[in-house]
């Protein structure tokens, strides 16, 4: 498929931006290039991560590492060490364009952000958009994103960039590669000379923690944190080599590689395919990015050329090197050139605690030596058209769902970016783990994998699009539930409240773990990393696990083997939770310290939130037991008897103890009329999965109406979204409290989905639309937080829970599967 040089190519008109007055891509977030942010949201606490608003869609496969290019055109986010975060622009990792017509030459690096460290002083940087002059637009519909440049060059220039993120494809979705499809068109009456430059720093050896035994400390919010100090700027032993293999031409950036390969070691590749006649490739194997950059910029700005250096020497200490390649060509009037270019990398190892390592999933297909970046690039240059078509196929049903607002459709795509940039980990397969381990961090502030309470909402995307990965996560929880780790540790919440120190065992047998561990320990083996609360006491985690198992069985191909693998843990964790029914009313009792996902908001006695989840989980467990008995012949008689009796008692108590006429009580001990937004999460999940509902439809509708009156329209006139909880008169539950006055993005999406299930699409779109506007209009795109506040602050960015927007898709379509690849 050769699209390299097609005069008057009609496909130009199908590019997201057309000829002269470009239409905007459908269901995409958009912003003028370099347009500044007037009042971006800022972190609520000084201890919360806040890198500022310059974020764009990530490039790179799940668990392969990724980088993100912002609407300024600079690459700012570098998540190339599994589970770790580094934010900062590397100015010489950049595209640039030279254009000449007669004596008029225009040359710009395609970032509107000039370096602030004094480097590359000779370079000219692309002009940022102003109210009087828009110089282009950025748009993102993950995994696709686009740059369109206007009012600067004579040529019409666009770049589409993507990685092969394809639902149901457990190979390509793991690839460490970014495809850039550049499109140039000469709309004028005279020829244009053009040259596209790609410069890249040798990053080999940078992304590994130099603190091999990081000390864990507690932040002011009580959460544990450890230092990540990557080897940014490391240069010793780096070198460049040229690659010309088949149709691939490019540059390889290498560094020292141990045997076996260590974390951070490997290779990068910049490559193009076979070029048509008249299109010239130039390569420079070394230049110094620490100076003013004139050695590259002077010839490039003069005529679009770069020095043809073949310097392959190895760098010494403090000896930085970058490489560059330029594609130079002429466009006749009306002529179009489509130019695919790829950046790939091969960093095969992730190290956790010292000596605890895993290989990344893509190494199952390319090997583990760290020397296969060219092979990844070659496959991308060969297959990118098929990848692009596969992305169109899975996105089209969402794009055509006109009953959902465009804002929701945009968020459905873009919130998936967290599966790549959320510190995601995807390990190589083993005989008993055919797709490997998979995990996404709760967030970068709370850096532990797959928090079970959070993924009750956030994994709704994974369960629908990559169900085998969701099964892998839930199997890891199932393995962990029977285990125990009785080492005692300090509980952070009591520290923040100025109370006497409290210690608790890390993991009790049959207690459902909160998470699957952290990047600095041994994830999937050492669970329950967080110690803000004693997770052995949480009243929602067992129910969350059981509901997710049934959900993924039901949505993931009715996999009876998966259900059977999880069944002992399902049975054991529910029996453990039953022990917290201290008064024998059939509902688990809270102990006073926060012991559920709202882990800074205490509950006492039975609660609507956890009581409803308990009822829904018992229904899911009974359905699971019946499936296993009927189809696999497992003897689940005792479990069905016990769960059935518990369910009958719980249903009898729930309305009797908690119904307050127009909504359900926060709990049975809290004084006053607290209206909690997520009080009927259990009923939402039951209805979503086709289980018997927890409450009647009449009471469900009355409750939602009360929530919307008090927590949505009654909270700053509905301008920000639904607050977690208020008193019925609109006053705060606790003016000094953290959680009740926050707007949790994922909870809002879950409530919107619940409205869809109850047939109220108008309210669903109103709630979701308001929250999406807060995120994407205030610089939180591609770092969606857990919580926002009415005064323009946020907490816990890059959060897992907001992928609950996929609950809206499931509820609206009654879970209509999207197209999956046939191969």
Domain encompassing residue 644: 428-811
3-state secondary structure of 3: coil
Residues 727 and 781 in one domain: yes
Helix, strand, coil shares of the chain as percentages rounded to 5? 30, 20, 50
Residues 332 and 435 in one domain: no
Residues 195 and 311 in one domain: yes
In a domain, 135, yes or no: yes
Residue finishing a domain among 339, 373, 389: 389
Alpha carbon distance 746, 748 (integer Å): 5
What is residue 819's predicted lDDT score, i.e. its pLDDT? 82
What is residue 24's predicted lDDT score, i.e. its pLDDT? 78
What is residue 227's predicted lDDT score, i.e. its pLDDT? 82
What is residue 802's predicted lDDT score, i.e. its pLDDT? 98
Residues with Cβ within 8 Å of residue 498, at least 6 apart in sequence: none
**Number of folded domains in the chain?**
2
Residue finishing a domain among 389, 404, 437: 389
The CATH number of the domain holding residue 227 is: 2.70.98
Residues 294 and 382 in one domain: yes
In a domain, 600, yes or no: yes
Residue finishing a domain among 366, 389, 412: 389
Residues 307 and 456 in one domain: no
Residues 385 and 460 in one domain: no
> Diameter of the chain by CA atoms?
88
Nearest to 140 by CA among 32, 29, 231: 29
In a domain, 414, yes or no: no
pLDDT tens-digit map of 295-312: 999 999 999 999 998 888
Q: Residues 740-777, buried b or exposed e (16+ Cβ, 10 A)?
A: bbbbbbbbbbbbbbbbbbbebbebbbbbbbbbbebbbe
Beta bridge pairs of residue 201: 322
In a domain, 456, yes or no: yes
Cis peptide, bond prior to residue 720, ω within 30 of zero = no
Secondary structure (DSSP) of 172-237: GGG--EEEEEEEEE--SSS-EEEEEEEEEE--TT-SSBS-SSPPEEE-TTS-EEE---B-TT--TT
pLDDT tens-digit map of 43-97: 999 989 999 999 999 999 999 999 999 999 999 999 999 999 999 999 999 999 9
What is residue 214's predicted lDDT score, i.e. its pLDDT? 63
Residues 703 and 647 in one domain: yes
In a domain, 682, yes or no: yes
In a domain, 819, yes or no: no
Alpha carbon distance 180, 395 (integer Å): 19
In a domain, 143, yes or no: yes
Alpha carbon distance 727, 735 (integer Å): 11
Nearest to 751 by CA among 728, 767, 727: 767
Residues 356 and 450 in one domain: no
Secondary structure (DSSP) of 568-581: HHHHHHHHHHHTT-
Residues 94 and 228 in one domain: yes
Residues 308 and 451 in one domain: no
Residues 375 and 471 in one domain: no
In a domain, 43, yes or no: no
Question: Are residues 435 and 469 in contact, defined by beta-carbon separation less than 8 angstroms?
Answer: yes
The CATH number of the domain holding residue 584 is: 1.50.10.10
Residues 291 and 364 in one domain: yes
Name the stretches of the chain with pLDDT < 70.
Answer: 1-23, 212-215, 220-222, 823
């Amino acid at each position: 498929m050769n699209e390299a040089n097609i005069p008057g190519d009609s496909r130009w008109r199908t590019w997201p931006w057309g000829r002269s007055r470009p239409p905007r891509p459908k269901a995409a977030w958009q912003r003028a290039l370099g347009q500044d942010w007037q009042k971006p949201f800022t972190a609520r606490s000084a201890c919360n991560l806040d890198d500022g608003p310059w974020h764009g869609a990530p490039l790179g496969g799940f668990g392969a590492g990724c980088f993100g290019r912002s609407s300024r055109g600079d690459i700012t986010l570098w998540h190339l060490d599994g589970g770790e975060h580094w934010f900062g622009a590397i100015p010489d990792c950049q595209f640039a364009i030279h254009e000449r017509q007669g004596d008029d030459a225009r040359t710009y690096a395609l970032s509107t952000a000039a370096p602030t460290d004094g480097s590359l002083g000779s370079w000219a940087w692309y002009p940022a958009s102003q109210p009087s002059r828009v110089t282009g637009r950025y748009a993102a519909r993950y995994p696709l994103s686009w740059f369109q440049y206007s009012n600067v060059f004579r040529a019409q220039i666009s770049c589409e960039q993507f990685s092969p993120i394809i639902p149901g494809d457990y190979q390509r979705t793991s690839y460490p590669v970014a495809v850039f499809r550049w499109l140039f068109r000469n709309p004028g009456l005279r020829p244009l000379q053009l040259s596209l430059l790609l410069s890249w720093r040798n990053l080999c050896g940078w992304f590994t923690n130099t603190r091999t035994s990081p000390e864990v400390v507690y932040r002011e919010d009580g959460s544990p944190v450890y230092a990540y100090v990557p080897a940014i700027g490391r240069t010793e032993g780096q070198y460049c080599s040229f690659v010309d293999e088949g149709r691939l031409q490019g540059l390889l950036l290498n560094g020292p590689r141990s045997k076996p390969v260590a974390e951070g070691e490997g290779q990068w590749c910049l490559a193009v395919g076979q070029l048509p006649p008249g299109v010239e490739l130039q390569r420079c194997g070394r230049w110094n990015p620490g100076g003013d950059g004139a050695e590259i910029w002077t010839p490039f700005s003069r005529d679009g050329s770069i020095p043809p250096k073949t310097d392959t020497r190895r760098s010494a200490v403090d000896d930085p090197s970058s490489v560059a390649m330029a594609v130079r060509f002429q466009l006749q009037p009306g002529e179009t050139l489509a130019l695919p270019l790829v950046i790939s990398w091969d960093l095969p190892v992730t190290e956790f605690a010292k000596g605890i390592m895993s290989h990344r999933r893509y190494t199952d297909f390319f090997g583990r030596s760290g020397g296969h970046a060219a092979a990844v690039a070659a496959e991308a240059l060969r297959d990118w058209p098929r990848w692009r078509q596969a992305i169109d196929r899975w996105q089209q049903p969402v794009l055509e769902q006109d009953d959902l607002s465009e804002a929701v459709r945009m968020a459905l795509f873009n919130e998936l970016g967290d599966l790549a940039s959320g510190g995601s980990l995807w390990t190589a397969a083993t005989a008993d783990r055919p797709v490997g381990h998979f995990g996404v961090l709760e967030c970068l502030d709370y850096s532990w994998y797959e928090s079970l309470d959070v993924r009750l909402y956030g994994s709704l995307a994974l369960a629908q699009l990559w169900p085998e990965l969701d099964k892998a996560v839930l199997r890891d929880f199932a393995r962990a539930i029977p285990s125990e780790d009785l080492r005692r540790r300090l509980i952070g919440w009591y520290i923040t409240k100025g109370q006497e120190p409290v210690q608790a065992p890390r993991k009790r047998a049959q207690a459902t773990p909160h998470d699957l561990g952290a990047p600095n320990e041994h994830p999937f083996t050492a669970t329950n990393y967080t110690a803000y609360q004693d997770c052995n006491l949480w009243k929602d985690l067992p129910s969350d696990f059981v509901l997710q198992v049934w959900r993924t069985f039901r949505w993931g191909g009715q996999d009876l083997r998966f259900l059977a693998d999880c069944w002992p843990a399902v049975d054991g964790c529910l029996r453990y939770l039953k022990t917290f029914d201290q008064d024998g009313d059939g509902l688990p009792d809270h102990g006073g310290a926060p012991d559920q996902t709202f882990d800074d908001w205490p509950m006492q006695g039975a609660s609507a939130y956890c009581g409803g989840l308990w009822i829904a989980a018992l229904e899911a467990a009974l359905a699971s037991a019946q499936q296993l008995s009927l189809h696999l012949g497992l003897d689940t008689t005792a479990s069905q008897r016990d769960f059935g009796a518990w369910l009958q008692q719980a249903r009898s108590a729930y309305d009797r103890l908690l119904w307050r006429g127009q909504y359900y009580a926060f709990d049975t001990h809290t004084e006053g009329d607290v209206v909690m937004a997520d009080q009927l999460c259990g009923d939402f999940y039951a209805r979503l999965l086709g289980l018997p509902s927890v409450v009647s439809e009449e009471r469900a509708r009355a409750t939602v109406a009360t929530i919307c009156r008090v927590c949505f329209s009654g909270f700053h006139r509905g301008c920000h979204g639904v607050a977690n909880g208020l008193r019925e008169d609109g006053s705060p539950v606790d003016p000094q409290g953290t959680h009740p006055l926050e707007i949790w993005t994922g909870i809002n999406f879950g409530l919107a989905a619940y409205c869809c299930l109850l047939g109220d699409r108008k309210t669903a779109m109103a709630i979701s639309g308001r929250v999406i506007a807060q995120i994407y209009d205030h610089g939180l795109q591609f770092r969606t937080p857990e919580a926002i506040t009415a005064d323009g602050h946020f907490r816990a960015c890059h959060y897992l829970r907001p992928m609950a927007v996929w609950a809206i898709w499931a509820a609206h379509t009654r879970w209509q599967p999207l197209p999956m690849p046939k191969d």
